[in-house]
Each structure stands twice: as C-alpha cells, then as structure tokens.
Amino acid sequence: MERTVNTLGGALWINLANTIRMQDKKRTDRLLDPAAERQWLEDNGLSAFAETVSGESAHALLVELRELVFRVLADLERNGELSEESLRLLQERAASLTLEMAIHQEEGSLQLSYMGKAGPDAIAYPIVRSLADTLAAVPADRIRKCEHDDCLLRFVDTSKSGKRRWCSMETCGNRHKAAEFYAKRRRRAEG
C-alpha cells in the first residue's frame, strides 16, 4: 500500500480517525466530501467493498465506526485502556458482523482467512479487526497524536525507540524544525 495522508496512521482504524484533520487552520471532516471519502476507501484497500454498498450506507457506516474509534482513543488517552462501555460497544459491533472464511494455499501451506460477507460487513470487519489487532499488539502509549500544534492526526508508533513525535516527518516534523530554526535565527538577530 502506497503511503498517503490517508494511511499515515499505521493502522486502518487510526486512518479512519484521521479523516478529521486540519486544513487551512480549520478542522475538516474528509468523509463529508464524497471524492475524499472514495479516495480514503481506495487508499485503505476498501474501495472494492464500498462499491457493493450504496454511497450513503458506506458513509453512515464509516461515520459510525469513526465515532467508536474516537471513543476508544479517548479511553486510551484518559486511562491507558478501554472502558467497559467501549469494550461492550466493540463486542456488539464484532458480534453483528457476518463473516466468511476461506482456505487457500500459499507457498505450499494452507492459510485460513476471514472477511466480511456482505458490503457493510466487508468494510466494517477490517476496521474492527485492525482495532483489535492493534490493541492486542501495541501498548496504549504507542498510539499517539502528532505533536505539531496545528495537526490532529494520530499514528501508531512502531519505531524501535518509541519516540516518534510526528504524523509525518515530511510535513509536521519539517514544519516544526523550520519554525525552530527561524525562531533561533530571530533570537540571534535580536541580540
């Protein structure tokens, strides 16, 4: 998967949270723009599933899942773990999914895979799975918000040192470094 602003989060569910972002110093919802929503689905490997669901249904599903994602993120920031209510909501969402299993052979060994059976489930399953897999494998303190003041994006810090600060070094990291450079230069000029 090519890295784009729609995939900076490092996990599908974080990428969904990142559909709320700053643009021109204003908080924007990328899911409100049908073209941006389609691009997000494509960048995150869900566009084929979205074609089996009406645009309004896919949009409503993404908004509903994003609210659940924000609830989980708020719990992690507040308590470092899920609240009982968030866990219950996740369990209900998972129980509502209709899944399909498939067995295929890959390099001589059998592989079992799961996918959502119908359109909405085909979109919801990978998002719920991503959330569960991330929370099982990554400590809560490695799920962070970008430290740039003008950024709302979040990411999963998979760096070895665990000290990643920016959603992207190419954008927020460079903006921060440039601001520090010019502030330092200004202080020197002032005496």
Name the nearest CA neighbour of 73 among 11, 149, 23.
11
Averaged pLDDT score across all residues of the chain: 90
Helix (H, G, I), strand (E, B) or coil at 115: strand
User: Residue 40 has what pLDDT?
Assistant: 96
Q: Residue 183 burial (CB < 10 Å; 0-12/13-18/19+)?
A: exposed
Q: From CA 62, how far away is CA 59, in angstroms rounded? A: 5
Q: From CA 119, how far away is CA 50, in angstroms rounded? A: 6
Tens of pLDDT, residues 141-182: 999 999 988 899 999 999 999 999 888 877 786 665 666 655
pLDDT > 70: what percent of the chain? Answer: 92
User: Residue 178 has what pLDDT?
Assistant: 63
* pTM for the full predicted model: 0.87
CA distances from 44 to 50, 87, 139, 144 (A): 11, 25, 23, 20
From 3.30.1360.70, 1.10.1200.10, 3.40.630.10, 1.10.3300.10, which CATH number describes the 5-190 domain? Answer: 1.10.3300.10
